[in-house]
Structures are given as C-alpha cells and as structure tokens.
Amino acid sequence: MRASDMLVHVQTKKLACVLDPALILATSGGMKLALRLTQVVEPWLTRTFWQLIDSSDWLRANLARGHAESSAMPQADALEAWIAMREQTDAASWQFRWIGDRLADSQLLDHADADLIEQYETLADSLATRAERRHVGSGDDRPRGWDPRAVSIDTLPLSAALDAAMILTASDTLAEHDREPALVRTLRQFDIAVDAADIVSTESLFAAERTLMREALAQAGLAGLCQGLPRLAVLHVMTEHWYPSSADVSRADDTGLSDAWAEARAWWYAL
C-alpha cells in the first residue's frame, strides 16, 4: 500500500452542551443555532423541550390567538421548524442527545448507561421538591403556559448528571445585555450558590473554555446569527454525585429529608 493511499481519521470527543429550551424555542434563529452547534459540541435537549413539542397543538392555538407577542411564548417560526424536523427525521439520525422517560425513549449513543438516567432522575426529583417548597416554577409536570424559568429548570439536573456539563443559555431579553441569565436568578431562588466565573485570569479553565466556545461558534459559522440573538451565556451546575440515604443527615434539608442539591454549586459567564 502506498503512503498516499492511507487515510487517517482522528475523532475527538466533543464537549457536552445542554441547550436551554428558552434559547432554542423563544428565538427565531434557535433551531439554526442548535443545528450548527452539532458541528462543534455534543448538544443535549431537555425533557421539557420534548414535552413542549408534544403539546404543539395547544401551543399553536395560543400562538394563533396572539398570545406570543413577547418572550412569554415560543416564536411561531421556531416551533414550526422543530416540529417539521421531528416529523421528517428518523429518530436514529438525530445528532442531538436527550434523556427520555425510559431508556428506549432516550438518545444516548456512547452515553448509553442506565446509571446516567438514574442519576438524572434522582437529581430532577430532588430539584422538583426544592421548587415546590420554594414556589419556583409552575409546580406542574406539564406546563400550562410558556414560562421561560419553569421550562428551563430541567436543564440544571441534566448539566449536573453530565458531570457539570455546560448549559448554553442567554441573558434576559428584557434586561441589559450583560445582565445575569434568568437561570442564574432561578438558582438563587433555589438557594444554590452561583458565582460569576473568572474569565480574565490566564490560569482560569473557565477563561480557556470561553475562548474555546467563542472559537467554536465562529468555526460553525454562527458569528452573524448570534448578532440577532440575546447575549449568549454558559452555566455549569455541579452536585456531589450520591444517592439519597436516610443516614446522610449532613445533606438533609430543614424537614430532615435528603437533598441531592445541598452541596450544589454553579458558575456562569457571558460569551
């Protein structure tokens, strides 16, 4: 075999990136952003995202009645684009990952590990308990309306279950461009410590990651598209990976029940 006949292919693992539903459904360029991101990251969709797509008939009716004049509801063109893609794409061909209600409903590929689903469910259930006690979100498994805060909450346990994977979100469209994303305020409502990441120091890995992500967005041809979107931001959520135990009183909440989020931390930065 001649040297010129040899083809060497090196495949590197992409960074896991959880996509905030409020970013990819409530902005007209959301789906194009998500599709382009598959070139440079491993994008994950949340369970709430699919619940909203499944309730598309209800959402369409509200959009038709003019109830989506702001970020209060998904953008009609973004919703229709996602629905059309789901109807025209074979499930095995999706380049996105997600955790469904069971393994057969999930798209995990190299993450096909039952422990990941169990860990996510543990974290999601514990966070739902926090939400109920602190009156954060809708308190209903099926959203009655488009509340960006409520539909974004399940990005948090997904990030934590994926070893503090980045969440791609955006600043509040009603706030100044450099203000905190809505998810950061939600974390504080959960009494979860969240800090602005150090993106200045050359010794900071967050600074290195920010540079990597900015270069990845440019590499994917997203520089122009991002100018029409709210200021993008990255959020990492970390918990201690453990399963609730009645003997673990150090991680119990004020009712004495185990709390998987007792030691949780989060960091965010603007892209």
Determine the pLDDT at residue 12. 64
Q: pLDDT tens digits for 12-57? A: 678 899 999 988 988 778 889 999 999 999 999 998 888 888 777 6
> In whole angstroms, what is the distance from residue 156 CA to residue 226 CA?
23
Name residues whose C-beta falls within 8 Å of residue 248's C-beta, 6 or more positions apart in sequence.
242, 258
76, 56 in Cβ contact below 8 A? no
87 CB burial (10 A radius; 0-12, 13-18, 19+): exposed
Q: What number is the average pLDDT over the span 150-166? A: 89
**What's the predicted TM-score (pTM) here?**
0.82
Give the tokens for residue 71. 């970020």
Determine the pLDDT at residue 118. 87
Determine the pLDDT at residue 123. 92
Q: pLDDT tens digits for 235-268? A: 999 997 544 443 443 455 554 446 899 989 999 9
State how far the alpha carbon of 221 is from the alpha carbons of 92, 99, 135, 144, 218, in Å: 26, 28, 41, 36, 5
* Domain residue spans of the chain: 3-270
Helix (H) or strand (E) holding 235: strand 232-238
Q: What number is the average pLDDT over the span 92-99? A: 83
User: Higher confidence at residue 82 or residue 159?
Assistant: 159
Query: Does the structure show a pLDDT above 90 at 207?
Result: yes
Q: What number is the average pLDDT over the span 229-236? A: 91
